Amino acid sequence: MPDPPGEGAAERPAPGRRGRRWLLAAALTGTVPLVAIVAAAVAAGSLASGGGQGPVETGGFLQLGATGHFFLAAAAVLAAARAGGALAQRVGQPRVVGEICAGLALGPSLLGRLAPGVMDWLFPSAVLAPIDGLAQFGLVLFMFGVGRELAGMRLRGATGRALLVSQASMAVPFALGALAAVPLAAAFAGPNGSGAAFVLFMGCALSITAFPVLARMLTDLRLLRTEVGGLSLFAAAVGDGASWLVLAAVLAAAAGSAPMVVMVNGVATVLVVALFLGPVKRLLGRWAQRAGGGASESLVLAVGVAAAAALTAALGVHQLIGAMLVGLAWPGTAPGADTGPVGRFIRVADQLTATARNVLLPFFFFGFGLTADLGALDWTGPALPAFLVLLALAVAGKVVGPGVCAWLLGMAPRSALILGALLNARGLTELIVIQIGYDAGIIDAPMAAVLTLVALCTTMMTGPLLRLLRAAPEEEPRAPDRRPAEASR
Amino acid sequence: MPDPPGEGAAERPAPGRRGRRWLLAAALTGTVPLVAIVAAAVAAGSLASGGGQGPVETGGFLQLGATGHFFLAAAAVLAAARAGGALAQRVGQPRVVGEICAGLALGPSLLGRLAPGVMDWLFPSAVLAPIDGLAQFGLVLFMFGVGRELAGMRLRGATGRALLVSQASMAVPFALGALAAVPLAAAFAGPNGSGAAFVLFMGCALSITAFPVLARMLTDLRLLRTEVGGLSLFAAAVGDGASWLVLAAVLAAAAGSAPMVVMVNGVATVLVVALFLGPVKRLLGRWAQRAGGGASESLVLAVGVAAAAALTAALGVHQLIGAMLVGLAWPGTAPGADTGPVGRFIRVADQLTATARNVLLPFFFFGFGLTADLGALDWTGPALPAFLVLLALAVAGKVVGPGVCAWLLGMAPRSALILGALLNARGLTELIVIQIGYDAGIIDAPMAAVLTLVALCTTMMTGPLLRLLRAAPEEEPRAPDRRPAEASR
């Protein structure tokens, strides 16, 4: 770009002086400064050696400061997530399964068992707090994304059948989880997990679906535009919305406060939810239409998410609920759409959610792995029966509940089974619920580990189960009339 | 999407049973589970009240947990940055100036002076470490972006005049800073700032240019495609590249280690730099061409940045130098270009850099504000003369040095002045250099505050200075022959 041919010659025509000017410029701006710098350094060096103010640190080879060690730990967490994700993809599993396993492996479950010295050296307690900051920030941005996806599903496909299947996909596993929790409460309840709170939390834990994993699986299997795909997404969205509401109520009740505090917090929470879904959503929408922002939408998003998280945390509901509310209220909730001034809001939200999902969530998986010590589970005690019962009920509740419901309402048996298998993937969202329950003191660490195993097993069985169901004869009965419609999109 | 008209009827034709099936489905999946859930909750509640395991926390109203408080602090930091940025924009300054001032205002410089109780309540020591994690992560991603921009400039416009102006824009202010540092060393050197290290660091501090601020200003003022714009970008890139190299050398020397360690670290640093600019860049480029990745490029980027940061930190060079090296080696370094498989690498890098710039850097400004206590400067002591001298030399070095050089080489006087004014903006990059020098113990806290003021003043004067220079008569002498070329782009 600089110095196009002939430029400048018109202003200074004298041709003979040109060489001298170049020399002068080079000397003035190169040689003279260099001499000055060397002179200054030498002068200061001799002054300092006179003053005797010597170096303080006595660094040896490869001495990492606190920040350097933080980056070493961060690199280990991210590299493990990358390796785990690639490995999972190679064996036909969603990447997130591998990333979760990598996070667990770096904690006491594996690395701490095999080489506790390495774990202590790699992750000294000083690096855990900054890593937690990245994990928490990534989590709220991720939950913001979940809220957006839920909001985007709100009105589409709300037929009677879809609503009934949604209800089944939530209520049946919820009931099974709650029933199973009654005998488990004595052994696995956390300090705040008194009676009803533990039972309702376990219901939530079994009824949640991994919305993002589900959506990616549907895309991978080319099921997104089929009846089963649409129905499962709708059921997951409505069912998860209901489960999060129940979870919020459970958390408010379990906060261990006086009844008066619980009541006031509960009313305040309802008001906050109404505020976000009503006035805040309208205001944001109007602001997006005016589109004054200019590169500050992402900052507004981050402020909103952090403030809402702090607000709901103060009300005794978990901070992630607040982040989800901002996602529900964010303008242009349908991800991918890109029309007019609202497009900027959509792009910024997509960008931040993608960053959180790809780069920050591994830090959450690592932190989660520090909590859920799978190796510390006492398999001779109640952990083994609890795991087996919960796994069986989790699968039964998701596959049988909505499956039977869809079959009763006229769906082919195989499609009904595929629907159930899809809803059975709990993945990452389940981990978030577990972390919330553990943070709130509703479940103890062994139950967190047991539920983690349930989450991993149900997520990992989804792929093979679907391949099995789809490999059987009479595949895709609606294929002939679906293909042209798909091609035209 | 679900339930297209007429679907399913073919599989289950019996029309009379349909109503009963719906009722059955509703009962099985709604009523029965609900009854079970209530029963389980009641049973568990009575069991628990018998067991006597009551709540542990005695929460009152609006009790924030540790994580809730972290989000409150994060919301305050981000909201202040948003407000400061908007305010700066309104008065015709770059947003980053307002964001930096907001970060300083939340620290001891303003909030801690006006309302120390509020500052202590809002930012207890427990939230500082997680916020530091976000700041550090944002900084390395930002420096990765700086590296990419430097790499993108490498070959463009390398005429003799451009190179000479680049040298002038670096060497002249460097020499002035080094000379000024000789008398200042006694008062302002940090514990490791022995003689030459302090002098050379001060040279770096005055010679740095805020590359990103410069690029945005050129765009805002429609100067990006002019000769002055291209020349200033090139000079900033080459000059900053040289300044960073010198800074790396100063850090390695100042680490306060034995001469043997310094030498080995220095050789290792040169090897690492050569490794990144040679084999690593080639390998990444080849991998980008194959484009196997699939949604994991951002994870690879983050792993690379964190690992390189840890590596250079271990060598006694600052972690940010490593992050910049990854940016120099990243494939498809020209931001914005989007061709073939490399396009994914460019998009991912743009995305992460934008997130860091917009959402994470405010946490750095806040952390920086905790270090640089402007209010604690003793204006009766050596701080005031130091500030005035450094400010004068910073402006003189950047405006006079490259300006005179460009004028000697045939540029119109006004254009030469505009060039100098553009290079004078130090902004955010200067803050990073100050933080590095303070972390390494080369400068003390008062000098960090003084240099912060110099950085703010030089950045804030750029806009008005340019408006003044451009408002004078005979504006844009090359305008007639430039417009058509610009319109055709």
User: Does any CB of chain A come closer than 8 Å to the CB of residue B252?
Assistant: no
C-beta atoms of A198 and B314 within 8 A: no
* Domain-embedded: residue A262: yes
Query: Which amino acid, one-letter code, is at B114?
Result: L
Partners of A189 in the β-ladder: A443
Reference B365, options B122, B84, B149; nearest CA is B84
A48 and B74 in contact by Cβ < 8 A?
no
- Inform me whether the pLDDT recorded for A115 exceeds 70: yes
Task: Report the pLDDT value the prediction gives residue A289, as an integer from 0 to 100.
Answer: 77
The angle at the Cα of A235, spanning A234 to A236, to the nearest 5 degrees, equals 90
- Say if A217 falls within a structural domain: yes
> Which of B78, B137, B303 minimises the CB distance to A79?
B303
Say whether pLDDT at B97 is over 60.
yes
The answer to whether residue A208 sits within a structural domain is: yes
CB of B235 closer than 8 Å to CB of B182: no
Which 3 state secondary structure label does DSSP give A373? coil
Whether A23 is covered by a domain: the verdict is no
Dihedral angle sign, alpha carbons of residues B203, B207, B208, B210: positive
Measured in angstroms, the CA of A33 and the nearest CA of chain B are apart by 5
Q: Which positions in chain A touch B140 (Cβ < 8 Å)?
A: 71
Residue ranges in B27-124 assigned as alpha helix (H): 32-51, 66-90, 95-106, 111-114, 116-122
CA atoms within 13 A on the CB side of A180: 28
Distance CA A136, CA A126 (A): 17
pLDDT at B256: 58
DSSP character string of B263-292: HHHHHHHHHHHHHIIIIIHHHHHHHHHHT-
Give me the residues paired with residue B189 across strands: B443
Q: Is position B339 within any domain?
A: yes
pLDDT digits (tens, 9 = 90+) for B203-216: 999 988 877 778 77
Angle at A301 between CA A296 and CA A304, to 5 degrees: 125
Q: Are B360 and B144 in contact (CB under 8 A)?
A: no
Orientation of helix A160-188 relative to helix A383-408, angle to 10°:
170
- Taking the CA atoms of chain A, what radius of gyration do you get in angstroms? 29
Residue A91 lies in a domain: yes
Segment A386-405 shows an average pLDDT of 88
Query: Residue A41 domain-assigned?
Result: no
What tens digit of pLDDT does each residue of A84-93 get?
999 998 888 8
Residue A77 binned pLDDT confidence (cut-offs 50, 70, 90): very high
Q: What does the angle CA B145 – CA B155 – CA B252 come to, to the nearest 5 degrees?
A: 55
- Stretch B165-173: mean pLDDT: 85
Structure tokens at B31: 């009523």
What is the C-alpha to C-alpha distance for residues B10 and B14, in angstroms, rounded to an integer?
10
Whether the CB of A474 is below 8 Å from some CB of chain B: the reply is: no
Contact: A133, B70; criterion CB under 8 Å: yes
Task: Among B241-245, B358-362, B444-448, B480-484, name the one with the lowest average pLDDT.
Answer: B480-484
Q: How far apart are CA B312 and CA B330, in angstroms?
A: 17
List pLDDT tens digits, range A211-268. 777 877 777 777 777 778 888 888 887 788 788 888 887 887 776 566 777 778 778 8
B129 closest CB neighbour out of A130, A162, A185 = A130
Residues of A in contact with B163 (CB under 8 A): none
Region A451-478: what's the mean pLDDT? 77
Kindly state the greatest CA–CA separation across chain B.
100
Phi, psi of A189 (to 5 degrees): -70, 145
Quote the pLDDT of residue B131: 94
Phi, psi of A307 (to 5 degrees): -65, -45
Count: domains in chain A: 1
Whether B65 maps to a domain, the answer reads no
Torsion of CA A311, B95, B135, B169, to 10 degrees: 180
Contact of B468 with chain A, judged by CB distance below 8 Å, is answered with no
Mean pLDDT of chain A: 80
Residue among A468, A428, A472, A436 at smallest CA distance from A452: A428
Q: Are B251 and B440 in contact (CB under 8 A)?
A: yes
CB B180 within 8 A of CB B379: no
Mutate one of A303, A319, A360 to test the B interface: name it (highest B CB count within 10 A).
Answer: A303
In sequence order, which residues have a C-beta less than 8 Å from that of residue A276 and are 6 or more positions away?
Answer: A308, A325, A326, A328, A329
Range of the domain at B460: 71-471
Cβ contact A195–B47 (<8 Å) = yes
ipTM comes to 0.82
Q: Which residue has the higher pLDDT, A454 or B291?
A: A454
Query: What CATH number corresponds to the domain at position B466?
Result: 1.20.1530.20
Question: What local confidence, expressed as pLDDT, does residue A92 receive?
Answer: 83
- pLDDT above 60: residue B3: no
